[in-house]
Amino acid sequence: MSRKPWHTRLRKKLRAALYAVLGRIFSAGEAGGKIDPQDIRRILIVRINYRIGNVIFLTPFIKALGRLVPDASVDVIVGAACTKNLLRGLPNVGEVYDAPRELLKNPLKLRREIQQLNARGYDLIIDVSARSSSNAIVTALLKAPRKLGFLDDNRWAPLTHGVSRQGGSCHMALQPLTLLEAFTNHDGQYARFLDIGLSEAEQRDGRERLFGLLAAQGYPEKITPLIGIFRNARGDKIIADEVWQTILREMRDIRSGIDFVDVGVPGQAPLAGRVLTISEKDLRLLGGMLSQLDAFVCADTGPMHLASASGVPTIALFKTTRPAKYGTLGEKDLSLEIAALSERQIAAKIITHLGL
């Protein structure tokens, strides 16, 4: 696994030192009595993050919370505005707010936003992240009779109910489920996969949009296995275009008749050869489009989690990050560590997994 940049490591060390100081000044509280669902009508989940995958990681927790507290309305505050509609398909979700980086850098504007949230009268605030400074700041400023979060030696934002992370899953999408131990009716029986709750209408719209774009490229109807790919990724998670081209060629060599759809990003050059292309900024509409594919292959990226949460069999190719922590979770998905595999071996494993 590659070493993280020095500035990233320095930032983490400085943050840990700050947390240690704040942890001595403020009392984060101890794990108190259980939360009675009958007392809860309005919940705010705090997850101020700007990555697609980390927002989609909330879906198992939100769905489980809806099962435990079925009469409560759940609002969420995230980081990026473009991710807000990813959660709006879940039946118990009310409002989804965003906290752009500019808001967190502007104390007066942040104060006004906090006042507006406090006016909604939440019964419970849930901070689902153990180490996010943005989450901790917002959670500390919000007012509610109950605040739930993870206990940690360096935790400084006050809580009324705390849960230890020890013994919970290491996967980032499943860690928040541990917080549900704070409820009186917790039984641990929760769905452990990603799901943005696409409706039948959204899937139909996705199909119409997808095949409309493909028809313009000479693909008028779905007559062969149609597999989506996404080549972009952050840092050393990215897979070179020449490797992608070899993988696709090997897949076609093993199983003829496959068509590929490259989900593009602005400024990305197309792959050479017979590869279709699509692009869509609306993430929920993109999820509807992905749901119409036979499979989706990509590196460890947000679109990988979007595809899995949209119900398409997803194959995630891991170069440096850990599948145990970030891997795809669907029953038909596959997290494949590729560092020691040839392109032919990768292609063969994908074809075998999909049963093509």
Tell me the C-alpha distance between 79 and 133, whole Å: 13
Q: What is residue 24's predicted lDDT score, i.e. its pLDDT?
A: 59
- Residues 6+ away with beta carbon under 8 Å from 20: 153, 154
**Structure tokens that stand for 302 in this block:** 């947000």
Backbone angles phi, psi at 159, to 5 degrees: -125, 150
Helix (H, G, I), strand (E, B) or coil at 238: coil
Distance of CA 120 to the CA centre of its chain: 26
Task: Give tens-digit pLDDT for 314-324.
Answer: 999 999 989 99
Q: Percent of the chain, pLDDT > 90?
A: 71
Tell me the C-alpha distance between 148 and 170, whole Å: 19
Q: Going by DSSP bridges, is the β-strand pair 161-164/226-230 parallel, antiparallel, or unpaired?
A: unpaired
Q: What is residue 11's predicted lDDT score, i.e. its pLDDT?
A: 65
Task: Give tens-digit pLDDT for 74-94.
Answer: 999 999 999 999 999 898 999
Q: What is residue 1's predicted lDDT score, i.e. its pLDDT?
A: 44
Q: What is residue 103's predicted lDDT score, i.e. its pLDDT?
A: 76
Pick from 337, 354, 355, 344: which is nearest to 251 by CA? Answer: 344
Q: What is residue 20's predicted lDDT score, i.e. its pLDDT?
A: 63
Q: What is residue 353's predicted lDDT score, i.e. its pLDDT?
A: 97
CATH of domain 200-354: 3.40.50.2000
Lowest mean pLDDT among 25-29, 199-203, 205-209, 211-215: 25-29
Q: What is residue 133's predicted lDDT score, i.e. its pLDDT?
A: 83
For residue 354, pLDDT beyond 80:
yes
Lowest mean pLDDT among 64-73, 174-183, 202-211, 263-272: 263-272
Q: What is residue 21's predicted lDDT score, i.e. its pLDDT?
A: 65
Domains 19-182 and 200-354 share a fold: yes
Task: Give tens-digit pLDDT for 38-77.
Answer: 999 999 999 999 999 999 999 999 999 999 999 999 999 9
Task: Give tens-digit pLDDT for 213-228.
Answer: 999 998 877 778 999 9
Domain-by-domain residue ranges, the chain? 19-182, 200-354
Cβ-contact 273, 253 below 8 angstroms:
no
For residue 183, pLDDT beyond 90:
yes
Average pLDDT score over residue span 24-46: 80
Average pLDDT score over residue span 178-189: 93
CATH of domain 19-182: 3.40.50.2000
